[in-house]
Amino acid sequence: MKTISENLKAHLALTVTTLARLWKLTRTDGTIMGFTSHDQDIVYDGVTYEAATGMFSTALQSTSNMSVDVAEAWTILSSEKITLADIQAKKYDYATIDIYIINYESVGDGVLILGGGWVLGELTIKDEQVVGEVRSKGQKLQQVIGDLYSPECRIDLGSVKCGINLEPDDWEADTVYASGAIVKATIYDGRRYICTTAGTSDSAEPVWDTTIGNTTNDNTVVWTCYDAWMKQGIITAVDDNRTFYDTVTPTFTEEDDWFNYGKLTWLTGDNAGYEMEVKDWVLLTKQIVLFEVMPYDLEVGDTFKVHAGCDKVLSTCKTKFANAINMRAEPYIPGIDEVMDYGIPG
């Protein structure tokens, strides 16, 4: 059952109507965009629905038996709000979409909700046309609730359940620090400092001893230096939009593959704010290869930060992060081959 105002209900019963379709898109970063099939912008409930954007969708399928409603939405890149770069950077993946019908001659009559859901998976691009499958919110009812057994870890590195602090807070003056607290210098130096003697920090930031294993006295606090899980760097050479080098940052001393599967975030340059996973790190040449190309050209001088990567297997969790106690996996459970095996008569 759909609830609408009496005025809109009466208008829908007319032979000639002034109806338009609205699409409200909410990205995972909180950005809200509105689009309409009308030839003029429509403002409804604080959102401006942009006209003539080339936004279309197939017929909506809706059932009453709890099955998942499906539609296909697509757009021609004619709106300044929708850029090819943002799509390639996956900013629209898993966005929510709400679809309405409105009387554009009487916006105050409210809307008829046609449906809504999520853009399922990645958007595809072909001939300047963007296509994405929209699944209704009933999709959630088809998902398994709870964890499944798996040989690889089910949580992301740096999450609350993982417990690894990839990017500590900056040191603060006149602050009580408990044993085990982790900070980084206010001017980043590629190190993290763990409180090994609890106390209160000084009114001025100490001169940090950046030698791994050494300590820094900070009023009544003692900090021990460790290599950081996150490093900041700068491009010194570029092969293409996914392969580049940093040969000048002194703290990039990690072994091969250290940053593989880690997240790289651009701090400056045309790609500032965009993120991408690292496919390969080579220590000898200081080469970083990303899984996918960036939407804009990489340039010498662009700065970035990159986190250590995790391939979610027990050996990595144990030896690289010393965090096996928090691993969410069952690496010793027999696989399907063992389950399906049967004894051979003697």
Residue 117 confidence (pLDDT): 73
Q: Indicate the burial class of 52 (C-beta count within 10 angstroms; 0-12, 13-18, 19 or more).
A: middle
What is this structure's pTM? 0.68
17-142 and 231-307 have identical folds:
no
Residue 319 confidence (pLDDT): 93
Residue 124 confidence (pLDDT): 63
What is the full per-residue pLDDT of the chain (346 aa) written as tens digits? 567 899 999 999 999 999 998 888 888 888 898 888 888 999 999 999 988 655 555 555 555 544 444 444 444 445 567 777 777 777 777 788 888 999 999 999 999 988 777 665 556 666 656 666 666 666 666 666 667 788 899 999 999 999 999 999 999 999 999 999 999 999 999 999 999 999 999 999 999 999 999 999 999 999 999 999 999 999 999 999 999 999 999 888 899 999 999 999 999 999 998 999 999 999 999 999 999 999 899 999 999 999 999 999 999 999 999 999 999 988 887 767 766 776 665 5
pLDDT tens profile 273-324: 899 999 999 999 999 999 999 989 999 999 999 999 999 999 999 999 999 9
CATH fold of 17-142 reads: Pnp Oxidase; Chain A (2.30.110)
Structurally, at CATH architecture level, domain 231-307 sits in: Beta Barrel (2.40)
Structural domain boundaries in the chain: 17-142, 176-228, 231-307
